Structure 1
Amino acid sequence: MQMSDPTFVIAITALVGLSVVVAALLRGWHSWLALKRQELENRRTRGPIEIEGGAGEGAARIEIADLKERIRKLEAIANGVDL
């Protein structure tokens, strides 16, 4: 096999190109992970997320579900449906 063989040159060029793409993707992955770590750290330092009225995120979801149930019952009453 000669160094100037076109197949060999194409293979080496493809390998170098693939290496560049993999290196760029790996760097992007590490940057994304660093961003997510920073977001998690910022969340820890701010404390738990609070919704209006001081309720935590979980309590707010329960409250919203309760309000949706009340609305459903009121709509049923307005439509004349017995519950």
Structure 2
Amino acid sequence: MMDPTLVITAACLVGICVVAFALLRAWQGWLELKRQELERASNKITSGPEIEGGASAGAARIELADMKERIKKLEAIASGVEL
């Protein structure tokens, strides 16, 4: 028959192979994630942010509307009109 030590050794070897394979797959997945993050970051840099600080298009419109409102208030103050 088979020696118990041989069975335990074979089981340990199979277990180590399974763990090594799982760790290898996890490592490859992590590398792919980092590769995608780098691609996203490089695409963001090449497209350029719409306004300073890298705000999105919606935030840029809101900030632009706020600036226009401030300019109207300043022009009213400069001309002496009370709002």
Question: What is the distance in 2 between the residues matched to 1:20 and 1:35?
Answer: 23
Q: TM-score normalised to the size of structure 1?
A: 0.57
Structure 1 unpaired stretches of 5+: 64-83
Structure 2 unpaired stretches of 5+: 51-55, 67-83
Spell out structure 1 runs of 4+ moving beyond 3 A. none
After superposition, the Cα gap between the structure-2 partners of 1:22 and 1:56, relative to the gap in structure 1 and judged at 3 Å, is farther
**Which letter does structure 1 place at the counterpart of 2:57?**
I
Question: What is the distance in 2 between the residues matched to 1:56 and 1:44?
Answer: 20
Residue deviations 1:11-59, cap 9 Å, x none? 000001110110011011001100000000000000014425x8279x4
Aligned to 2:32: 31
Question: What is the distance in 2 between the residues matched to 1:12 and 1:40?
Answer: 42
After superposition, the Cα gap between the structure-2 partners of 1:56 and 1:24, relative to the gap in structure 1 and judged at 3 Å, is farther
Q: TM-score normalised to the size of structure 2?
A: 0.57
Instruction: Kindly indicate whether residue 25 of structure 2 is the aligned counterpart of residue 11 of structure 1.
Output: no
Count of aligned pairs between the two proteins: 58
**Which letter does structure 2 place at the counterpart of 1:17?**
V
**Which letter does structure 2 place at the counterpart of 1:29?**
W
Instruction: Kindly indicate whether residue 53 of structure 2 is the aligned counterpart of residue 55 of structure 1.
Output: no
